[in-house]
Amino acid sequence: APPGPPPGPALRTCPPRWAEGPQAQPREDGAEQQQLRELIQGASNPQELLQVSRGPALSSNLAALAIARLARLTCEQRLDTGSIRGDPRFQRLLNTVDAQISQVWNAPLLQLLRSLPALGLGGRQARSVEQEVLWRLRRLPLRQLVHLAEHLVGQGHDGLLLPEVLRKLELRWTELDGTRTVVTLMAKVGHLSPTLMERLEDKALELAEQFDPDEVRRLALALALQQRRCVPLLRALSYHLLQKPAELPLPVLTDLLFAYSKLSFQQPQVLHRLSLELQPHLGTLSPAQVLRCARSFASLRWLSRPLAEAIAQYSLDNTQKLSINQLCGILVSFGRLNFQPSSSEEFFSMVHEKLQGQEQQLDTHLLTDVVWSLCVLQQARPRHLRQVLSPEFQARLRGDTSPRAQSSWLKLLHINATARLEAPGYQGPFLPPEALGGDGDKDKDKEKATPLQRGLREALPGALGGPDLMRQDVSTVFGWDIDAEVVLDSDNKPLPVRDFTAPHLPRSEGTKPLPPGARRVAVLRWEFPQFSSRGRELLGRGSMARRHLRVAGFLLAEVS
């Protein structure tokens, strides 16, 4: 899987307290050293800490702890670090550490590594500390190694230390025994090392039952942002999430939905629960959050009618808060799901009113998606068709070979078919004939054929009586591909299909009209992408294809 995004620029952050606890303190003899240690722990301002440098019992350990505490106080109190760096007492603390750095214990050493950048220090002092940490990596407890990796990634470290830390984690992954550590590494470090991420996924699968809902959320987001579709882990997380009876918090609902859609992972029981528990919260969400939820369900091809109704009502109740792009995003989601709200007339009146005069502000692809969705939902008006079928609009897409442009061009074919077949009062413009041909890349399509598609190709010629009695893999001028086309006479006997005119093709092979009583039959293969997860209804594309082909005179023979 590709690595995630690189960490951002280093920020000045307060050093954490993970090395200040009692277990982090070295054992040192002497009442004076104990007194200094208590003074460091209890100091409330930098001056108290700088006084420590005058103590005769000051050791490198105590000096490191003092610098770490000084960095935290400086950050918390938002003090000027320049005056501290120039203070002779601070320089004395640095020199004490530098002279005996090998005697500084692990936890204070790691805290020192974090503290120097917070105090604005780099150069020789930082390199000395990094080198000492590098020498000790093999002896560091795993907990400290994890904290170190998290710190280095957060700082955008680009030296030798981070790669070595990652290698040590790759070798010691079997020592991981806590869900929190696994989640932290996957979320913050895993994108830098595919090998480590694979091992973390194995460990997460082992611990799947122990993750709480928020940890499941963070794991799913880590997988989604790194585009790692680890199906066994996603299935295990889904199963154990469903066993948790308590209602899921809102951030868990929204982030899980986003992660599942990003990974195209459809788990019906989880999606049903997410939609059920999300619905009562819908009124508290911002328009951007509602749009993200709608897009996620549309991407997953999962239609929850109660939730979709609630989103439609939210749009009506918050018309003034929704931007034109947000409203368009909700409309496109409804189009993909072939969802007609119960308040259809009110909803689409509001949509048309908001769109009036705003179309020019929309991105070319978004406007195409909007008009396509209106066509799917049978709500397109002549002005919408004219706008995207005009030569000027076509020119924006012509010559663009990007996947997004190719998708938009295919949708223009569907819109053009709607204008021809379902808009009797529409007078034009239409797409030119030369723009209506299919891509003809049949060899490539055959390589990608599904088992059902291959079965149809093998079975139909034998069932009909020969390959001349059918066309296979037909690209129509409507933008829809037909798996097979057959012409039957009035007695349901197949006729040589290539003998007859074919107005649904860019170029017709035959010249004869169909005999009286003869019918064209389109064999359509409906697989997962065309159906909702429950298999009860066709979604947007399939519904539109059915309508267009029936209006064009086809009988439909559907296979699934």
Q: What is the pLDDT of residues 66-79, one digit of tens each?
A: 999 988 988 888 88
pLDDT at 21: 38
Residue 328 has pLDDT above 60, yes or no: yes
Residue 510 has pLDDT above 90, yes or no: no
pLDDT at 10: 37
Question: How does residue 30 score in pLDDT terms, banded at 50, 70 and 90?
Answer: low
Q: Strand ranges (DSSP E) for 181-304?
A: none
**Structure tokens, 558:** 């559907």
**Average model confidence (pLDDT) for the chain?**
86
Q: DSSP character for 27?
A: P
pLDDT, average across residues 3-7: 42
Angle formed at CA 348 by CA 346 and CA 350, multiple of 5 degrees? 70
Q: How many CB atoms lie within 10 A of CB 512?
A: 10
Question: How does residue 527 score in pLDDT terms, banded at 50, 70 and 90?
Answer: low
pLDDT at 53: 78
Give the model confidence (pLDDT) of 271-308 as tens digits: 999 999 999 999 999 999 999 999 999 999 999 999 99
Residue 29 has pLDDT above 70, yes or no: no
Give the model confidence (pLDDT) of 42-60 as tens digits: 788 888 888 887 767 688 8
Question: How does residue 215 score in pLDDT terms, banded at 50, 70 and 90?
Answer: very high
The residues pairing with 86 across neighbouring beta strands, listed in sequence order, are none
Question: How does residue 342 score in pLDDT terms, banded at 50, 70 and 90?
Answer: very high
The rounded radius of gyration (Å) of the Cα atoms in the chain is 33
Contacts of 298 (CB under 8 A, 6+ apart): 332, 333, 334, 336, 337
pLDDT, average across residues 86-109: 89
Least confident window among 14-28, 101-115, 466-480: 14-28
pLDDT, average across residues 537-559: 86
Burial class of residue 280 in the structure, from the number of CB atoms within 10 Å of its CB (0-12 exposed, 13-18 middle, 19+ buried): exposed
The whole-model pTM stands at: 0.82
Give the model confidence (pLDDT) of 233-246 as tens digits: 999 999 999 998 88
pLDDT, average across residues 113-139: 88
Question: How does residue 15 score in pLDDT terms, banded at 50, 70 and 90?
Answer: low
Residue 138 has pLDDT above 60, yes or no: yes
CA distance 204 to 208: 6
Give the model confidence (pLDDT) of 432-476 as tens digits: 988 886 543 444 445 567 787 778 878 887 788 888 888 888 889
Closest CA to 94 of 118, 126, 47, 134: 126
> What is the torsion angle, in degrees rounded to the nearest 10, for the CA atoms of residue 353, residue 359, residue 362 and residue 363?
140
pLDDT at 12: 41
The angle, 0 to 180 degrees and rounded to 10, between the axes of the packed helices 88-99 and 60-76 is: 140
